Amino acid sequence: MKYFLVVTAEVISSIVFFLPRYRTFNKFKSIYLLCWGAKIGKRVVYYSGVRIFPGRNLVVGDDVSFAKGTQIYPNGGITIGSRVLIGFNALMIAGNHAIPATRSESLYNYPGSDRRPIVIEDDVWIGANCTILPGVTIGTGSVVAGGAVVTKDVPPYAIVGGVPAKIIKMRP
C-alpha cells in the first residue's frame, strides 16, 4: 500500500512539474510544494521538467529559478536563499544510503540513511550539470561552474568548479 501511494505521488509530481513555466503554473507548483510542507517564496520559476520530490524539508526564498532537468531530493533538508539561479540538470541530494559496516551485508535494501542538509545562500548561480552533495553549504554570491561536483562548503563570493569542486577564483 505504501509503495502504491509513493508511486502515485511521484506520478502526480511529474505531471505537475511537466507544466510549462507560465506565471500561473509557477504559482500552482509553489502551492503544490506548500501542500507538501515546503516553504516557498515569491516569483519562483520552474521550467518544465524539474523534479522535486517530496516537497517537505524544502525552503526556497524569493526570485529563484529552477532550470529544466533540475532534480531536488530534500529528504535531509534543503534551504535555498533568494535570487538564486539553478542551471540545467543540477542535482541536489540531501541524503546518502547507509553503507553497511561489514562487506558481508549488501548495500541493496540496507536499512537507514545518512541525511545531511544542503544550504544555498542568497545570490548564488549554480551552473548546468552540477551535483551538490549532502551537508554542503554554498556561500552568498558564489558561482558553481558547469559540471562541478560540490563535496565541501563553498565560501561566499567564490567561483568553484571541477570534480571535486575547488576554488577557481574569487569574485571581484
Ligand X SMILES: CC(C)(COP(=O)(O)OP(=O)(O)OC[C@H]1O[C@@H](n2cnc3c(N)ncnc32)[C@H](O)[C@@H]1OP(=O)(O)O)[C@@H](O)C(=O)NCCC(=O)NCCS
Q: Which residues are catalytic?
A: 97
Q: According to CB under 6 A, which one of 162, 164, 167, 170 is a site residue for ligand X?
A: 162
Residue 125 Cα distances to 78, 120, 158, angstroms: 16, 10, 11
The one-letter amino acid at 80: I
- Determine if 61 is a binding residue for ligand X (CB under 6 A): no
The one-letter amino acid at 60: V
What minimum distance in Å lies between the beta carbon of 146 and ligand X? 3
Whole-angstrom distance, CA of residue 59 vs CA of residue 81: 8
Cβ atoms < 10 Å from Cβ of 39: 14
Q: According to CB under 6 A, which one of 77, 141, 147, 155 is a site residue for ligand X?
A: 147
Whole-angstrom distance, CA of residue 112 vs CA of residue 96: 9
For ligand X, give the closer residue by CB, 37 or 162.
162
Give residues 69-128 in contact with ligand X (rule: CB under 6 A): 87-88, 127-128
Three-class DSSP category at 118: strand
54: its cell numbers: 517530496
What pairs with residue 158 in β-bridges? 170
What minimum distance in Å lies between the beta carbon of 144 and ligand X? 8
What minimum distance in Å lies between the beta carbon of 96 and ligand X? 24
Q: Which range binds ligand X by CB under 6 A, 53-61, 68-76, 92-100, 140-148?
A: 140-148
Binding site for ligand X (CB under 6 A): 67, 87-88, 127-128, 143, 145-147, 159, 161-162, 168
